[in-house]
Amino acid sequence: MSDAVKPPLLSVIVPCYNERATVAELLRRVRAVPIEKEILVIDDCSTDGSRDVVANLAKEWPEIRQILQDVNQGKGAAIRRGIAEARGEIVIIQDADLEYDPDEYPKIIQPIVDGHADVVFGSRFEGYPRRVMLYWHRLGNTFLTFLSNMTTNLDLTDMETCYKAFRREIIQSIPLRSNRFGIEPEITAKVARRGYRIYEVPISYYGRDYWEGKKINWKDGFSAIWTILRYGLFHDAASEPRTYSTIRRRGRLERYNRWIWDRMRPYVGQRVLEVGAGHGTMTRFLYGRDLIVVTDKETAYLDRLRNSFRRRLGMLVEPPDLESDDALKLAHHKFDTVTAINVLEHTVDDEAALRRAHQLLVPGGRIIVYVPAGKHLFGALDRGIGHQRRYDRDDLREKLERAGFEVEEIGYQNRVAQLAWWLNSTILKRTQLPAGQSRLFDRFVPLFRALEGKNPSSGLSLIAVGRKKA
């Protein structure tokens, strides 16, 4: 590891269940790795004395934190507990046996330290030395990795590896469910779905046999298949922010998004702050300006944005959001445009957010606001996607003016969709707009635009442009 870059604090998570024969030696080897670290040993109700061995070592070695599970729950539950307790900047998983070599920590975490990766898998099948595995175990691992790759569109060689390292804020932001060995494919599916940068590093492997304490069996293989299909093919709503499904669907509405962009484009300058960028759907329209700073309050969205735009010149991804004064730290960028597309309706104090946007703009700069319209339409759909409110034209105008803006334009958009929203939200009490309806609507956007004209008297949304006085 380069002397120029000091590795950050490492959290080593060691799930332990009946590993008395190996756990002391394993912890000695982990402790000897010359990296600042904490060692979290999660004892899953061992009955062979492992707990006492670790407790005695913890008295001598302050790096060790022993965490006791109340009942035996499985390896996955122990890993989840360790992730929740971790305080290091990087988290790595380490089995309590001696199959994996802790001396390889430096090369495993190096891609994260260098800023190239968010997640690193240690591949047993790309590295040497390794103990020759049982044929059926190797075949099972190959099949599970193949099936996982099919559902995640990754190109891993060893999905089931123990050695997985993460930036802490990433793995702590992903709710995990698996209690047993299904934790491996679940983690893989969920980091893949979020689009994190995943690296593989060759590692050595010293596999053991069942008489030595190996615990995984054929039942776990079937469980892994189910987990791969469950999380690889289907979205786990609990693993993403409340707005995830809505934002993902909106991102696919190419004609509708183009419609919004055509309305806002004449007012967009060269130094733009995009608030609540989500997956970056509107960000792509902005590309090519002198400076684009995109923000969001959700860790999952910030990570996606960084992965999408980190190598684009003139594009920055920042965490501050208009809901707090931290956003004012961005004032040195001297923005001439702030965009808030489908943002204000999610904020608790929308007027405070508008005042902060006003402070961030240079004199003569503009804010472009796009919000849901029609207070009478508020219903189950709004509550389901986290709306605090809907707006009427006069209400939005007054809020912009109280924040210090001169309103240059304010008007409705998407008149035809009002009826569909009312039926789904008020009559059918749906909390998510059906994907099929969204796709059908997008196909007919050119027709709706033609029928609507330039100045509709009502609409499902409002777009407003406010200018900061020179």
Return the pLDDT at 8: 75
* CA–CA separation, 376 and 392 (whole Å): 9
Residue pointed to by tokens 């939005």: 396
Average pLDDT of span 358-387: 96
445: pLDDT strictly greater than 50:
yes
Nearest Cα residue to 289 out of 360, 359, 338: 338
210: pLDDT strictly greater than 70:
no
CB 332 within 8 Å of CB 435 = no
30: pLDDT strictly greater than 60:
yes
Average pLDDT of span 28-41: 96
Specify the pTM: 0.76
Return the pLDDT at 216: 60
* CA–CA separation, 373 and 153 (whole Å): 39
CB atoms within 10 A of CB 435: 12
Of 125-134, 266-275, 448-457, the poorest mean pLDDT is in 125-134
* CA–CA separation, 192 and 183 (whole Å): 14
Count of residues in the chain: 470
Indicate the average pLDDT of the chain. 90
Return the pLDDT at 4: 53
Q: DSSP 3-state assignment of 206?
A: coil
* CA–CA separation, 429 and 278 (whole Å): 26
Return the pLDDT at 208: 52
The strands making up 461-468's β-sheet, listed across from edge to edge, are: 315-318, 291-295, 271-275, 335-341, 361-372, 461-468, 405-413
- E strand or H helix at 399: helix 393-402
- pLDDT over 70, % of the chain: 93
Return the pLDDT at 213: 46
Average pLDDT of span 411-440: 93
**HEC secondary structure over 105-136:** HHHHHHHHHCCCCCEEEEECCCCCCECCCCHH
Would you state the structure tokens that stand for residue 137, as one six-digit string?
């175990």
The residue with greater pLDDT, 52 or 470, is 52
214: pLDDT strictly greater than 60:
no
Confidence of residue 190 (pLDDT cuts 50, 70, 90): very high
179 Cβ partners below 8 Å, 6+ apart? 73, 74, 75, 76, 77
CB 458 within 8 Å of CB 412 = yes
Return the pLDDT at 211: 41
95: pLDDT strictly greater than 60:
yes
Domains recognised in the chain with CATH numbers: 10-239 (3.90.550.10), 244-468 (3.40.50.150)
Return the pLDDT at 424: 94
Average pLDDT of span 324-348: 95
394: pLDDT strictly greater than 90:
yes
Q: DSSP 3-state assignment of 177?
A: coil
Return the pLDDT at 131: 63
248: pLDDT strictly greater than 50:
yes
Average pLDDT of span 1-19: 80
458: pLDDT strictly greater than 90:
yes
pLDDT tens figures, 50-72: 999 999 999 999 999 999 999 99
Return the pLDDT at 174: 92
The residue with greater pLDDT, 208 or 411, is 411
CB atoms within 10 A of CB 71: 7
Of 145-149, 287-291, 301-305, the poorest mean pLDDT is in 301-305
CB 101 within 8 Å of CB 204 = yes
